[in-house]
């Protein structure tokens, strides 16, 4: 399939990830009585990835995340030459989702932008965690996320379960790190909301590019070094 069509699938999938995941936080937060809480937000992010993995995994690989694309390239599962197209599509999808979410959220009387599901450290961390704590959290959790992706899509793994493992993996990551960074592990997911929040969110955005990409790149080196190189299967097979 052409690179353009695969990039289009990445745009759509990343749109769904950001709209579904961040939307669950921004829109449900306006109605505390619904009781979705951070557990519900964590599940929403996991479900967006799980559903898109089944929907577009056989088309684009369902990266939805520049860090994943970089990690897979380092692990020789994805060509470096296609990184620009994938990352551009992911960013466009994230920005479009954030734009639509802003339009919907601002349609409620008394709307206040607030954090708009942006990621941050120090005083902008939900739990007030330091820059170092947030950097380590994002790097380690992205590293583990890529190991889950490498392992579940390995030809030696049980067939057909990769989307479930990846979706539940992302849910667990959010359960751990929402109090720390509001959970990124995805530079595109962080960039979309940060554009609307501006100010501190854009100033701190560097961490949510550097840490996830670093963690993903290390995973791309570690997995084949320890468990051997194996070609990936399509995530829905």
Mean pLDDT by 10-residue block, N- to C-terminus, for the chain (237 residues)?
A: 95 98 86 78 96 96 97 96 98 98 92 92 97 98 97 88 96 97 98 97 98 98 86 55
Q: What is the pLDDT of residue 237?
A: 40
Distance of CA 39 to the CA centre of its chain: 16
CATH number (domain holding residue 202)? 1.20.1080.10
User: What dihedral angle (degrees, nearest 10) is formed by the CA atoms of 107, 8, 212, 165?
Assistant: 90
For residue 126, what are the domain limits? 3-227
Residue 53 domain flag:
yes
Q: Which two tokens stand for residue 37?
A: 């809480």
Residue 61 domain flag:
yes
Neighbours of 106 (CB within 10 A): 11
CA distance 77 to 75: 6
CB 51 within 8 A of CB 64: no
Count: domains in the chain: 1
Residue 235 domain flag:
no
């Amino acid at each position: 399939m052409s690179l353009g069509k695969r990039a289009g699938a990445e745009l759509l999938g990343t749109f769904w990830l950001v709209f579904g995941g961040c939307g669950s936080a921004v829109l449900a937060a306006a109605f505390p009585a619904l009781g979705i809480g951070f557990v519900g937000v964590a599940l929403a992010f996991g479900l967006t990835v799980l559903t898109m993995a089944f929907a577009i995994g056989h088309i684009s690989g369902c990266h939805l995340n520049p860090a994943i694309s970089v990690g897979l390239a380092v692990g020789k599962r994805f060509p470096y030459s296609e990184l620009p197209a994938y990352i551009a599509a992911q960013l466009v999808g994230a920005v479009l989702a954030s734009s639509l979410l802003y339009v919907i959220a601002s349609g409620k009387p008394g709307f206040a932008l607030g954090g708009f599901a942006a990621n941050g450290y120090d005083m902008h961390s939900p739990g007030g965690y330091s820059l170092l704590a947030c950097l380590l959290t994002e790097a380690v959790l992205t590293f583990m996320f890529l190991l889950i992706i490498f392992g579940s899509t390995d030809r030696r793994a049980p067939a057909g379960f990769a989307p479930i493992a990846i979706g539940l993996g992302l849910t667990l990551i959010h359960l751990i790190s929402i109090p720390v960074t509001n959970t990124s592990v995805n530079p595109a997911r962080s960039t979309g909301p940060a554009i609307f929040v501006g100010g501190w969110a854009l100033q701190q955005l560097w961490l949510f590019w550097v840490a996830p990409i670093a963690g993903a790149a290390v995973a791309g080196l570690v997995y084949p070094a320890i468990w051997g190189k194996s070609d990936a299967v399509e995530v829905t097979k």
